[in-house]
Amino acid sequence: MTDDQAANVRRTVELMWADRRDADSPLRRGPRQRTSVRAVVGAAVEIADRGGLAQVSMRAVAERVGLKPMGLYTYVPNRDVLVALMVDAVAFDDEAIRGASDLRLCLEQIAGQYRDELLRHPWLLDVPAWRPVPGPGSSRRYENQLAVLQSAMISARSTVDDVELDAIIASLKAFATGNARLRIDQEAEYQQSGLDDAQWWEIAGPLLAEFMPVADYPVSGRVGATVGELFSGPGNADHAYEYGLKRLIAGVMRRR
């Protein structure tokens, strides 16, 4: 570990938590500040929501908040720290899960919380998910999820240890993340190709029928035709989410 890497971790933690105590807390003391860490992070999130994470640069964010590029470093030391702050900021905006004493409803809401956040902020999929810095946003959300899940488990007269509580949430998150990626890719493909699924199949279908005779692919040919007729496409991300979540929840509820 280098000194710079250690400094990044320290500064990220300090800024995440200090900003929630004082919205105008800069990286260092000095004259009255022209903006705030929170405003800087909010501007970065707006840029990412509109154009993707690749569009978030220190220069672009500085322009958005009315600063010169070097002036932005008064608030955040570099882009890596800024991205970490962005991730926690959108988690902070998640609404708490309330009144989910029913275990099935609780599990649905936890998965939906993750999926909805990713659909609102697709750029989150471009941020490494492993070992995020626990900030006030992600910590508040995790505490809420654990508390409601524990309560729902007790109401269902089901015992669960701490490791399993965490594993259930992690499994729901992994499933929701995978499906959100599929849903986002579906929309991106429509935008980039200019073709919806029906239009694409009108072009590709006859060619595939020529190269993939039914006799060689009897099962996949039958299933593919049934699915294609139902959804007018190769599948449906929303249907896959609803079906998969039901099966995942059923597994959790049948656990021993």
Does pLDDT of 194 surpass 50? yes
In a domain, 96, yes or no: no
- Say how many C-beta atoms besides its own lie within 10 A of residue 190's C-beta: 14
Q: Which of 43, 68, 91 lies at the terminal end of a domain, its last residue?
A: 91
How many structural domains comprise the chain?
Answer: 2
Residue 52's pLDDT band, with cuts at 50, 70 and 90, is very high
Does pLDDT of 220 surpass 70? yes
Q: Which of 67, 91, 115 lies at the terminal end of a domain, its last residue?
A: 91
SS3 of the chain: CCHHHHHHHHHHHHHHHHHHHCCCCCCCCCCCCCCCHHHHHHHHHHHHHHHCHHHCCHHHHHHHCCCCHHHHCCCCCCHHHHHHHHHHHHHHCCCCCCCCCCHHHHHHHHHHHHHHHHHHCHHHHHCCCCCCCCCHHHHHHHHHHHHHHHHHHHHCCCCCCHHHHHHHHHHHHHHHHHHHHHHHHHHHHHHHHCCCHHHHHHHHHHHHHHHCCCCCCHHHHHHHHHHHHHHCCCCCHHHHHHHHHHHHHHHHHCCC
In a domain, 79, yes or no: yes
CATH number of 51's domain: 1.10.10.60
Does pLDDT of 30 surpass 70? no
Same-domain check for residues 87 and 109: no
Residue 56 structure tokens: 């978030």
Same-domain check for residues 181 and 62: no
Domain encompassing residue 28: 3-91
Mean pLDDT of 124-134: 90
In a domain, 158, yes or no: yes
Q: Tell me what pLDDT residue 201 has.
A: 84
Does pLDDT of 102 surpass 70? yes
Q: Tell me what pLDDT residue 218 has.
A: 94
Mean pLDDT of 69-73: 93
Q: Regarding predicted confidence, which is higher, 100 or 229?
A: 229
Same-domain check for residues 239 and 118: yes
Q: Tell me what pLDDT residue 24 has.
A: 44
Same-domain check for residues 27 and 116: no
Mean pLDDT of 29-42: 79
Count CA within 13 A, CB hemisphere, residue 112. Answer: 13
Provide the mean pLDDT of the chain.
90
Same-domain check for residues 128 and 35: no
In a domain, 97, yes or no: no
Q: Which of 35, 61, 91 lies at the terminal end of a domain, its last residue?
A: 91
Same-domain check for residues 69 and 115: no
Tens digit of pLDDT for each residue in 132-186? 889 999 999 999 999 999 999 988 888 889 999 999 999 999 999 999 999 999 9
In a domain, 169, yes or no: yes
Same-domain check for residues 40 and 116: no
Does pLDDT of 25 surpass 50? no
- The reported pTM is 0.87
Mean pLDDT of 33-45: 92
